[in-house]
A and B are shown apart, each in its own frame.
Chain A
Amino acid sequence: MRKSLTCTVCPLSCDVVLEIGENNEILSLTGNKCARGKVYATKEHTAPERTLTTTVKTKGGSLPLLPVRSDQPIPKPMLKKAMEATADLVVDAPVKMGDIVIENFLDLGVNLVASRDLDRAH
């Protein structure tokens, strides 16, 4: 099976073509212009990951929402579940950038952290 990917490592945006075997193994990888492209395409095929950036509700803060992020990428298929897991979350102000909002988020070994400072409402 052939599979085509756009490399997102740099603005060149190489179209990388992968030949995939029966056990989902990569038989060949062409079209990348550099080594980083190979690493990216391999990862993207075997275990794609994304950084989650979203918001959570706040209590007592100067804003109704706090922007948060995962401090490491999480498996791409987990994005939807991760969003749902943050839906009912409420964070108390004040918060400092980098504060951990959820530790070991969804047992993925990553933390959900605050993207900014948030003062108490005055």
Chain B
Amino acid sequence: MKRSDVDVAVIGGGPAGLAAALAARNEGASKVLIIERNHELGGILQQCIHHGFGLHRFKAELTGPEYAQRFINLVKETDIEVLLETMVLEVRDDRTIYAVNSTDGMLEIGAKAVVLAMGCRERTRGALRIPGKRPAGIFSAGTAQRYLNIDGYIPGKKAVILGSGDIGLIMARRLALEGAQVEAVVEILPYAAGLARNVVQCLEDFDIPLILQSTVVQIHGDDRLEAVTIAKVDENWKPIPGTEQKIECDTLLLSVGLIPENELSREAGVALDPITNGPKVDDTLMTSVPGVFACGNVLHVHDLVDNVSKEAERAGAFAGRYALQQQADAARRVKVEAGENIRYVVPHEISLDKPVEFFMRVQRPEQNVVLDLGGLRTVKKPSVRPSEMLNITLTEEMLSKLEGDTLTVRIVPQKEDGVDA
């Protein structure tokens, strides 16, 4: 068994891993290693060939591969070591990593700091419990995206897409552009879950119907998918009898949510947040296991890769400092709590001695509200909804005013004299 030692080991070479590794190296960690299971870096961005990435970071609308390439090129200019086609099997709480590939066999890697950047997976039909048969032709949207954009195959020519999140919308356009017929995008919510721009450019441009407040209630076809039955749902998302409608199709794509992939984290003893399905982290993005950091979609599912990069740079920088033993323990620690109409907030704990960017999602859509961070900062929001992540930074000065041991983040109605700090 090969043994090696590094300062910072980054698990995953997608956008989070790339940015974390670069930040760790810039922080001064001399041996930085990226472990990537795929044959190339870039992660899921490589199959997201559409444009719209990087508006915040690069002030340009890049495609997924372009966004990834910029980071890959930066990594190539450094001495960051990259292991491709290498799968991490285990991370121990002493930061020993076991990974395999076909040329080195089993690798035992001792790391002074570890950054978890494994990304997320898609929810499956089983998780939704869509009734009916089990024919061929049912794919998660990301799998279909890979078939179409990487491997070069079109699953079928008549598709229904369940879920109007951005991946579902983007796949509707991709299929339509490639010459397949998209019969409908079906969404359980009363509004499209993805960006309005994608509704316009992916559905309206191609005359693809968006059917709201509906879901797939039956799968038909013994061998290959033949049709789906959809039905309207009530406010509890229960199908309403009598509203069924059968749509013939040979392909069903499921774009029904993403789940952070934390199997390695769990086995390492990392405490997880049952709402995000990601690790609980402090303001250095360190998990409950000392020296193990997390960022990107393994921490919580993001909608903008720009935010992933930013978060990962923070995790990477603090991992670098940890490896160099430059991170002093904070004198005072404060818990962050999700209050009224806040589903979750990351980080879960802060230490008041440095500025913190908070990422959060609301529970339900609301209009004309104020986002209130423990009274330290309030921000007016014309509208909030669960599919759009909110991010706000508190400066050291703002944090210095915090009393007590909890910071509660909440959404409150706008008053006439609502202040924007």
Contacts and interface: CB of A to CB of B under 8 A. Distances in A.
Interface of A: 5-8, 11-13, 50-51, 53-55, 57, 62-65, 67, 69, 76, 79, 83, 97, 115-117
Contacts of B66: 69, 97, 115-116
A7 B200 CA distance: 9
Interface string B132-150: 0000000000000000011
Contacts of B201: 8, 50
Interface of B: 39-40, 42, 46, 49-51, 61, 63-66, 68-69, 72, 149-152, 177-179, 195-197, 199-201, 205, 382-383, 388
B291 to A, nearest CB: 34
Contacts of B383: 12
A51 B51 contact: yes
A65 B149 contact: yes
A64 B388 contact: no
A83 B388 CA distance: 32
- In the A-B complex, list the 4 residue pairs whose CB atoms are closest, starting with the nearest: A8-B197, A13-B196, A116-B65, A67-B49
Contacts of B205: 50, 76, 79
B382 A116 contact: no
A12 B50 contact: no
Given A12-B382, A79-B205, A53 B152 contact: no
B150 A54 contact: no
A95 B255 CA distance: 32
A53 B150 contact: no
A50 B204 CA distance: 13
Interface centre among A5, A11, A76 (most CB of B within 10 A): A11
B305 to A, nearest CB: 15
A37 to B, nearest CB: 12
A116 B68 contact: yes
A76 B178 CA distance: 16
Contacts of B72: 117
A62 B42 CA distance: 15
A83 B150 CA distance: 17
A80 to B, nearest CB: 8
A63 B178 CA distance: 18
Nearest to A84: B179
10 contacts: A6-B200, A8-B196, A8-B200, A64-B152, A65-B150, A65-B151, A67-B49, A67-B64, A115-B69, A117-B69
